[in-house]
Structures are given as structure tokens and as C-alpha cells.
């Protein structure tokens, strides 16, 4: 009887009304079945109580990880690598040639000071030459002394001859001396004066000979001094080609190679895009392969050109503790290009649009897209220059799966706290 009346009522309703009524009838049927199964009385009052006790259906929102915009200390680091080399290499060559090497006073790895003897050459030949020049000096001095005596004698004779010529000329005027005697006296005076000129020139030649002998002696003494091969600068010996018994020569390999003041540097290759961010004096942290200790240094020189084939630039970094490394070692380094406190979020939160970088912000569970301006990147973090306020929430990893206007269940990233 009840079913007949229900069918009559359903026939007079629209399709949508029929759907709603059908769902309601189904729910009532489920409640009635539940009451029968539990042995409870069936009636309008019992059904109404069960409907009131039924929990409301909650909306199932997706759980999305979010991060908070925070003010953090960020470091802009540029990763480079390269080989260790000397800041300045000094080659030591012998200053005299043709002398055999008698002794070696230093070896590879020695730290030497400026002027320290590194090797000694034979001085026998030069000592013999020095003896010869000593004899030449003595002979030149004797010649000078003899010439000086001759100059005195000639000067005295010329003066006496001139006096005789003057007296004879006076007597000739008085008529007591003949013209022949006057002419003879004048000739003697002229001859004596000429002799003075000759012996004076001989004295000058003797003095020039003495100066030549002294110069030759000075040259021999300089060569004797140069038989000691000395370090021109302080530093560390990194190679030695000299051998005892070999003849010293400036042609070929240097006898010794030094690193000036033992100063070493890292010659690193830098990507073209990073080169303009590097400045002189920036702090650098380095680590050699196979070591755990870090090295410190500073940017010493930025090469002015870029390799046309590799598109890499060159940077030279001084090493504060050169004793910890060796020439030729491979070293990786981090150049600190910038360091400041700024707003930052995880890099994974950054998206890209036609207008530039963007993030998905979350407020009261509602997702909104925001355009941002980014700055330096420090590992997994990136600086936000504009577009976000501190403590705002942004979608950390699933920004590509949510849209502007979506509602989500935000879950704060514990690793970012």
C-alpha cells in the first residue's frame, strides 16, 4: 500500500526531484536496515535520531607541503677548480761559462735566502789569469814611475835650454855672441820642449795601460766571485739540473729553478657567466683532492681575456698556507662573491611564467600565484628581492600540481624550519 502511494507521488515530479527523493529513500533504507540488524525499534522517531547522529561528510582537501618565507644569511658562492702553480718562477743560470761545476750546496726542496750559494764552479783558470794581471799591474806602475821621472828630467832640460837661448839672444844683441851661437841655442830649446811633450805622452800611455790592467783585474775578480752560483731571490728550489763535473753554460736548461718567496697560487678556470661576479680580494675556501683540511686564500688576479675555444676565464688565487700544497696539485675552490641577510625560500618553490619567476602562495588554505624577483642562490635556497613578505607561506614542491584559486591542506615543511 505504501509502495503504491510512493510510485504515484514519484510520477508527478521532475527528474531532478526524483533523484533527490531517491537518494533520501536510499539513506532511510540504510538506516532502517541498520536498526533491524541491531534489534532496535523501527519508527519515525528512531530514524530521525539516527539521521541526527550521522557525522557530516567532510571535504577531502589535498595535503601540500609549504614553506615559510624567512630572513636568512645567504652566501653567493662560485665553484671553480684548477692546478697549483708558483706565483713567480725564477731560473738560475751561471753568469760565467766554460767552468766545470765543483760542488753543489743546495738541492730540490731547500728553502734558500737571497744571495745564498747554490753551487761552486772551478776557479783555477781564473786564479791564473789573476796572477797574470797582477804582474801586468806591477809593470804598468813601474812604467808610470819611469815616465814620470823622464818628464821631470825633460822639463828641467827644456827650462835650462830656454834660459841658454835667452842669454845667447841677449849677447847677440850686444854683439858679443855670433848669430850661429844664437841659432844653436834656440834649436836646443825647441828640441828640449819637444822631448817634454814626448815623455808626457809616454806617461799618459803608461797610466792608460795601468787602467786597462786594473779593469782586467776587476773583470777577473768579478768572474771569480761569480764562480759562486747564488740565489737571486729567496724561495724554494723546485728543480735542479746541475751536476758535479759538468761544464756550466747559459745555453739549455737552468741550473736551478726557484719559486720566489715560496708563494703558490691556484690557477682556476671560471665559467664565462660567473667571471664578472668575481672581484679582487674576495675570500676563497679551497680543498685539495684526498684531504679533509680546507685552505684559505684571496682572489689575486683576474685574467683579462677568455679562451675562445673553451669559453672559460682564468682567475689566480693566492694560497695563505703554501706549505700545505704542492705545485701541480688539483684543487677545488669556492669563491665568496656576496654575503648578506635576506628573505629566502627553497629553490623548488620557484616556478616560471611568461612574466618571469613566480611562486604559489597559501593563505587560509587558498592558493594564489605571485610574481617575484629573485637574487643570489645558496645551495637549496634562493633570495627573494621583491614579491613576498616575511612569514608568508609558499608551496614548496607541488606548485605544478595546484592552480591559482585551489584550496589545499597546507603541511609545513619541518626540514625548512
SS3 398: coil
CB 382 within 8 A of CB 344: yes
Please give the grid coordinates belonging to residue 396: 614548496
SS3 396: coil
Looking at per-residue pLDDT, the higher value among 326 and 26 belongs to 326
Q: What is the pLDDT of residue 384?
A: 94
How far apart (Å, rounded) are the C-alpha atoms in residues 337 and 327? 26
| DSSP secondary structure of 4-30 | HHHHHHHHTS-HHHHHHHHHHHHHHHH
How far apart (Å, rounded) are the C-alpha atoms in residues 345 and 388? 10
Please give the grid coordinates belonging to residue 279: 672581484
Q: Where are the domains of the chain?
A: 2-53, 65-72+341-416, 78-84+260-339, 90-119+230-258, 124-226
CB 122 within 8 A of CB 132: no
Q: What is the pLDDT of residue 346?
A: 92
Is the pLDDT reported for residue 198 higher than 80? yes
Pairing of strands 264-271, 312-319: antiparallel
Is the pLDDT reported for residue 8 higher than 60? no
Centre a 10 Å sphere on the Cβ of residue 406 and count the other Cβ atoms it contains.
17
pLDDT in tens, 345-384: 999 999 888 888 999 999 999 999 999 999 998 889 999 9
Q: What letter would DSSP give residue 390? A: T
| DSSP secondary structure of 321-382 | -GGG--TT-EEEEEEEEEEEEEEEEEGGG-EEETTEEEEEEEETTEEEEEE-EEEEEETTEE
In this structure, the dihedral spanned by the alpha carbons of residues 304, 310, 316 and 319, taken in order and rounded to 10 degrees, is: 170
pLDDT in tens, 251-297: 888 999 999 999 999 999 999 889 989 999 999 999 988 778 899 99
Check: pTM over 0.85? Answer yes or no.
Answer: no
CB 399 within 8 A of CB 349: yes
Q: Is domain 78-84+260-339 classified as CATH 2.40.50.140?
A: no
Looking at per-residue pLDDT, the higher value among 51 and 132 belongs to 132
CA proximity to 62, closest of 283, 388, 340, 360? 360
N-term to C-term CA, the chain: 68
Q: What letter would DSSP give residue 41? A: -
CB 121 within 8 A of CB 102: yes
Lowest mean pLDDT among 44-48, 62-66, 301-305: 44-48
Q: Which residue has the cell 731560473?
A: 91
- The CATH number assigned to the domain with range 65-72+341-416 reads 2.40.420.20
How far apart (Å, rounded) are the C-alpha atoms in residues 174 and 177? 8
Distances (CA, A) of 162 to 39, 153, 155, 189, 382: 174, 14, 11, 5, 110
How far apart (Å, rounded) are the C-alpha atoms in residues 236 and 116? 12
Pick from 13-17, 280-284, 409-413 the range whose average pLDDT is largest: 280-284
Q: Is domain 90-119+230-258 classified as CATH 2.40.50.100?
A: yes
Q: What letter would DSSP give residue 42? A: -
Amino acid at each position: 500500500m505504501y509502495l503504491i502511494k510512493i510510485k504515484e507521488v514519484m510520477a508527478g515530479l521532475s527528474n531532478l526531484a526524483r533523484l533527490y527523493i531517491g537518494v533520501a529513500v536510499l539513506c532511510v533504507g540504510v538506516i532502517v536496515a541498520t536498526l533491524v540488524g541491531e534489534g532496535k525499534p523501527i519508527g519515525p522517531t528512531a530514524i530521525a535520531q539516527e539521521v541526527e547522529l550521522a557525522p557530516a561528510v567532510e571535504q577531502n582537501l589535498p595535503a601540500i607541503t609549504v614553506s615559510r618565507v624567512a630572513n636568512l644569511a645567504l652566501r653567493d658562492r662560485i665553484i671553480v677548480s684548477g692546478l697549483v702553480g708558483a706565483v713567480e718562477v725564477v731560473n738560475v743560470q751561471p753568469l760565467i761559462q766554460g767552468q766545470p761545476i765543483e760542488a753543489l750546496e743546495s738541492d730540490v726542496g731547500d728553502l734558500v735566502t737571497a744571495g745564498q750559494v747554490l753551487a761552486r764552479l772551478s776557479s783555477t783558470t781564473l786564479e791564473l789569469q789573476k796572477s797574470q794581471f797582477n804582474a801586468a799591474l806591477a809593470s804598468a806602475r813601474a812604467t808610470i814611475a819611469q815616465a814620470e821621472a823622464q818628464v821631470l828630467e825633460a822639463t828641467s832640460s827644456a827650462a835650462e835650454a830656454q834660459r841658454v837661448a835667452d842669454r845667447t839672444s841677449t849677447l847677440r844683441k850686444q854683439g858679443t855672441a855670433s848669430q850661429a851661437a844664437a841659432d844653436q841655442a834656440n834649436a836646443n830649446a825647441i828640441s828640449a820642449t819637444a822631448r817634454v811633450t814626448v815623455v808626457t805622452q809616454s806617461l799618459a800611455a803608461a797610466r792608460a795601460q795601468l787602467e786597462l790592467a786594473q779593469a782586467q783585474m776587476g773583470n777577473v775578480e768579478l768572474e771569480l766571485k761569480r764562480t759562486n752560483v747564488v740565489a737571486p731571490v729567496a724561495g724554494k728550489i723546485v728543480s735542479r739540473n746541475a751536476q758535479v763535473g759538468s761544464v756550466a753554460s747559459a745555453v739549455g736548461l737552468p741550473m736551478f729553478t726557484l719559486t720566489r718567496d715560496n708563494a703558490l697560487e691556484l690557477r682556476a678556470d671560471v665559467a664565462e657567466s660567473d667571471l664578472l661576479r668575481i672581484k679582487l680580494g674576495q675570500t676563497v675556501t679551497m680543498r685539495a683532492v684526498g684531504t679533509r683540511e680546507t685552505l684559505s686564500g684571496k682572489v689575486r688576479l683576474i685574467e683579462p681575456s677568455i679562451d675562445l675555444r673553451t669559453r672559460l676565464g682564468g682567475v689566480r688565487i693566492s694560497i695563505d698556507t703554501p706549505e700545505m700544497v704542492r705545485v701541480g696539485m688539483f684543487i677545488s675552490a669556492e669563491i665568496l662573491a656576496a654575503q648578506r641577510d635576506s628573505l629566502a625560500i627553497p629553490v623548488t618553490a620557484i616556478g616560471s611564467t611568461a612574466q618571469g619567476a613566480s611562486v604559489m602562495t597559501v593563505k587560509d588554505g587558498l592558493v594564489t600565484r605571485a610574481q617575484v624577483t629573485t637574487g643570489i642562490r645558496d645551495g637549496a635556497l634562493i633570495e627573494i628581492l621583491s614579491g613576498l613578505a616575511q612569514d608568508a607561506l609558499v608551496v614548496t614542491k607541488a606548485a605544478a600540481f595546484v592552480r591559482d584559486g585551489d584550496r589545499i591542506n597546507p603541511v609545513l615543511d619541518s626540514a625548512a624550519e
